[in-house]
Structure 1
Amino acid sequence: MAENERVPVDFHQAMFRIASIAFVTAATVDVGTSFIGAPNLNVMPILVVGILSYVGAVVSWFFPWHRLPVERFLVVIVLPGLALLGFMLMYTGGIHSHILPIFIAPAVFMAAAYGFRAGAAIAIFTAATAALPLFLEGWDAYYFRMLIVLSGATMLSAYIPAQVRQALLREYERRRQEQEQSYVATIGALAAALDAKDRYTEAHSRETAELAVNVGRRLGLAGEQLRLVEYGALLHDIGKIGIPGYILQKPGPLTPEEFAIMREHPVIGERILVSVQFLAPLGPIVRAEHERWNGTGYPDGLKGEEIPIESRIIHACDAFHAMASDRAYRQALPLADIVAEFGRGSGQQFDPRVVEVMLQLIEQDRPHISAQAQASGQPAPESAVSGPRSWAQHMQTIEGLGQQLARTTSTEDICDLIGETVASLVPHDQCRVLLMSEDRARLDIIYMAHVDGTEVIDESMLAVPVAFEDEVLAVIVVLKLGLNQFSLDQLRLLTILANQAAVSMANARLIDRLASAASVDALTGLMNRGAFEDAVNKHLLRPQSWGTLLMFDVVNLRETNVAYGHRAGDAVLKRIANAIRSSIRADDLASRWIGDNFAILAPGIDSVQGEALARRVETALQSERISILWGAAEYHGDALTAQDLVVAALKSIGGNSDTAAA
């Protein structure tokens, strides 16, 4: 088999399942037919052959053969199988043996493993093995004719699985290529996303990859290594996903603190890549892309040949593309200046051999550079927060905000206060405060300020989480048209506001939870008596209110508690609550009134519809084998209080219910 031919694990397994079945078939046929018309039978050889065959079948079926190189199949499987067949042939009568057709199996196996040529070679070897009785026992014309038929049948039997094998491998290779193309598309999308984060380097990764592949090819790289160069160049900046946008888009030199953050992106990139199986080989390449030939690079200080060749190529091509591109803080360098810069860096920053090949390539055919500074890009404005006086004014505003937040217990009101403060302190075209839902499944916009008439072309964004004890409660988002519109001071200011809002928001949520807990029955999750009574009284105060109040009483709950314990009784109450919850409408109110009594207020329905509702609850409980009694009280604006309705409904209990099976 060719070295570059890829055989899937399932194919290995299928081949050895064939071998296992062949062993079982050979043993069964041999043992089963040896007793037919044989007066002087030697049982021992038959038993030995049968046992060996069944052992071979078990081993072939269960052994992890995918760990065995295909090149060793001949020695491990085929030759021992032929030896076993020769042994069986001689001990079952030689030229009078009845097992000759089994000799087809080794050729079938080899054709499936190696293809038709290997199968045909084994067919010839099989015929030679089967011819041994002619040399040992003398000539027999009938047996010779059988050998000729066997040889033809073996060739045909080898041809069929060989063709099936080729078809399967072609299909496997087609699917593998489709998967790889899908991976390449994924890589391209990742690279495009990276370039989109930094508009000054749009198409940077793609064009760097094109140059790197050409350099790698001239250096003698091919196949998988060249593919790693291409994919590594496309994703060499993937770690910048974890770098704040204000650092990536800063028009001037980075501060030491900002540069320290920027130096982390190769490590971040490696972590991202190694977490994805098909991208894992790119991890070390991306990590080493900023290493220098003289050992002064980062993050590991590698030097010379310690740096992977793929990383050295990408590093040089990345530097060339950066020099040849317009940036926010400078125009693209002339080619002569780029060549001079690489001349100074050769043997220091760059691999001399890579530089030599790359410059030769560039002089012959300068690569196309399309990554230009965007027309809408503008240098970052002077910070609106800079200077002692500005900070003092902003701190006064923040102090006033703190006093307002201390008096606010509504989460939505807190979001409004934060949004209004941010909008007054930070220049913006749009300001949003998004609140995390209780189930943490979505962010809801609570506050939004927008400047009318603005058109989104390029925009800068600050997004700061409002987090308390590692839990994100909300997010503050500020947008401004144009690139590089926010400063580090504005980010700090927004962070201060977020931290101040976090404590108030956490307190407000705690108050909401406590208020909810005070109105909910802890066991069933329905409204408790106090909350239900208040809600019913408020409803009754509405003009022309009418409807029906239902009361339910659980049959024999006390006996259940005595016989099986309170856990069993609590389980019954929970099932009743679930049945009520699934039966009522969205506008209905449900409560565990007290003990084993439940209540439902159903506005806008009469006693007939109320009875239908009670029957639905009864039906839902029939499968639970729980019995209830119920009563109803209809009202038409004539009830004084909730207590009046409850008393009336309780008096009617017993006359309306058919008890379910206990």
Structure 2
Amino acid sequence: MTTSYYRTVLVYLVFASLWIYFSDAVVASLFHTPEGITQAQNFKGLGFVVCTSLLLFFLIRSDFNRINDVNKQLRKSYDQTLEGWVQVMDIRHKETREHSLRVTRMTVKLASLMGIEGEKLTYIGRGAMMHDAGKVGIPDSILIKPGPLNEDEWELMKQHPVIARDMMQDIEFLKPSIDIPYSHHERWNGSGYPEGLQGDAIPIAARLFAIIDVWDALLEKRVYKEPWPEDQVLFYLQEQAGIHFDPQVVDLFLANYEEIKAAALQPSVF
């Protein structure tokens, strides 16, 4: 980046030097009266300001474009690293390798249907990808236990959103994506965790993701359960509108179900 600064200064210096040399030569050859020389010098000064302003505009825009390209590549590298790390987590949780990618694609699609776009959509995608990041702090004896958890085990399991928040809140790249990892176990009626938030107090990203996460969990075979039939899963989601889920989100999900489900197979995550 320092090289770019030097280049800008050098181009400006060369241009200014050439302008002064040749413009002075032109004025000297074309104008011979004091009045004519004064008027020409005034126009020369105005032309210099206009031309150097345009030159600087294009040089600075070029530098900004290069910086943006570097930032895009950097963000892409971060996202690819994140994707690889999350797939390793899925394997550790004894879930399918595509679990996190699948629910991320579907959540992004549902969010876009809700009218969310731009950077907010990217934050939701990263949050969905990181939804179970806090489980790195949960012992395997609890995480992949084949039977039901006892009370103490369940209380420890309920700490994984807090662990995720503590992991992400000091990382600038991930901080805007905390809502899903921290709040996707909240319930519309206030019976969820970790804060017992209710209704619209639950971040919209978490409300969107919750229905996708439960849909995927019920359809998939897990170490502690067999998969449910698809029609039974959809009936359950509708039944839980206003209890577990935001009713508006349930309606949107069911109204666009085939389109959202198809998004799970798309090659792009965000």
Q: How does 1:395-414 map to 2 (within 5 A)?
A: none
Could you tell me whether the CA contact under 8 Å between 2:94 and 2:222 is conserved in 1?
no
Q: 1:214 to 1:331 in 2, by over 3 A?
A: same
Q: Which residue of structure 1 aligns with residue 25 of structure 2?
A: none
Show the counterpart of 1:349. 244
Alignment of 1:178 with 2:73, yes or no, is yes
Question: Take 1:272 and 1:193, find their aligned partners in 2: how far apart are those partners?
Answer: 17
> Partners in 1 of 2:95 and 2:78 — Cα distance?
26
Report if aligned partners of 1:274, 1:282 keep a CA contact under 8 Å in 2.
Answer: no
Gaps of 5+ in 1: 1-7, 19-100, 102-139, 371-662
Question: 1:159 Cα shift?
Answer: 2.1
Distance 2:106 2:259 in 1: 13
The amino acid that maps onto 1:156 is C
Residues 369, 254 of structure 1: CA spacing in aligned structure 2 closer, same or farther, 3 A cutoff?
farther
**Distance in 2, Cα, partners of 1:157 & 1:331:** 71
How far the C-alpha of 1:367 sits from its partner, in A, is 3.9
String of CA shifts for 1:449-473, please: whole Å, max 9, x gaps. xxxxxxxxxxxxxxxxxxxxxxxxx
Task: Encode CA deviations 1:217-272: one digit per residue, 9 max, x unaligned.
Answer: 00000111101111011101000001111212122221111111110000011111
Q: Which has the higher contact order (CA 8 A, sep 6+)?
A: 2
Are the structure 2 counterparts of residues 284 and 343 from structure 1 closer, same or farther at C-alpha, using a change threshold of 3 Å? closer
Alignment of 1:574-585 (within 5 A): none
* Partner of residue 229, structure 1: 124
Equivalent position of 1:300 in the other structure = 195
Aligned to 1:315: 210
Match of 1:285?
180
Aligned-residue CA RMSD in angstroms?
2.3
* Equivalent position amino acid for 2:163 in 1: I
Correspondence 1:165 to 2:60: yes
SS at match of 1:326: coil
The residue that corresponds to 1:589 in the other structure is none
2:190–2:197 contact (8 Å) kept in structure 1: yes
Contact 2:186 2:193 in 1 (8 A): yes
The residue type paired with residue 65 of structure 2 is: R
The letter of the residue matching 2:149 is L
The 3 A distance-change label for structure 1 pair 219 and 299 is same
Provide the C-alpha distance between the structure 2 equivalents of 1:177 and 1:204, rounded to a whole number of angstroms. Answer: 26
Higher radius of gyration, 1 or 2:
1
Return the offset for 1:141: 4.5
Verify the 8 A CA contact 2:180 2:206 in the aligned structure 1. Answer: yes
Identify if the C-alpha distance between structure 1 residues 147 and 180 changes in structure 2 by more than 3 Å, giving closer, same or farther: same
How many equivalent residue pairs? 236
The answer to whether the 8 A contact 2:208-2:249 is kept is yes
Offset, 1:364: 4.3
- Unaligned segments of structure 2, at least 5 residues: 10-19, 21-34, 266-270
Partners of 1:365 and 1:316 in 2: how far apart? Answer: 12
Measured after TM superposition, the shift of residue 332 of structure 1 is: 2.1
1:150 to 45, 68, 71: 45
Match of 1:334 among 229, 232, 249: 229
CA distance in 2 between partners of 1:224 and 1:351 (Å) = 23
Equivalent residue for 1:268?
Answer: 163
State the SS of the aligned residue for 2:178: helix
Say if 2:92 is the partner of 1:197: yes
- Asked whether the equivalents of residues 106 and 261 of structure 2 are also in contact (C-alpha less than 8 Å), the reply is no
Distance in 1 between the 2:176 and 2:156 partners? Answer: 25
Identity rate, percent:
29
Structure 1 residue 201: Cα displacement: 4.1
Deviations 1:620-650 (A, max 9, x none): xxxxxxxxxxxxxxxxxxxxxxxxxxxxxxx
Shift of 1:356: 1.4
Contact preservation (8 Å) 2:159, 2:194: yes
Please list the CA deviations of residues 33-77 of structure 1 after superposition, one character each: whole Å capped at 9, or x if unmatched. Answer: xxxxxxxxxxxxxxxxxxxxxxxxxxxxxxxxxxxxxxxxxxxxx
Q: Secondary structure of 2:256's match?
A: helix
- Cα deviation, 1:430-467, whole Å, max 9, x if unaligned, reads xxxxxxxxxxxxxxxxxxxxxxxxxxxxxxxxxxxxxx
Q: Report the TM-score, using the length of structure 1 for normalisation.
A: 0.34
- Partner of 1:366, secondary structure, is helix
Taking a change above 3 Å as real, the CA distance of residues 364 and 161 of structure 1, as seen in their structure-2 partners, is closer
Find the counterpart in structure 1 of residue 145 from structure 2: 250
Larger strand fraction of residues: 1
Per the TM alignment, residue 276 of structure 1 is displaced from its structure 2 partner at its CA by 2.2
Q: 2:57 corresponds to which letter in structure 1?
A: A
What are the within-5 Å matches in structure 2 for residues 509-528 of structure 1?
none
Secondary structure of the corresponding residue to residue 156 of structure 2: helix
Secondary structure of 2:196 counterpart: coil
Aligned partners of 1:325 and 1:369 also within 8 Å? no
* Alpha-carbon distance in 2 for matches of 1:270, 1:178: 26
Give the TM-score normalised by the residue count of structure 2.
Answer: 0.80
Paired position in structure 2 for 1:361: 256
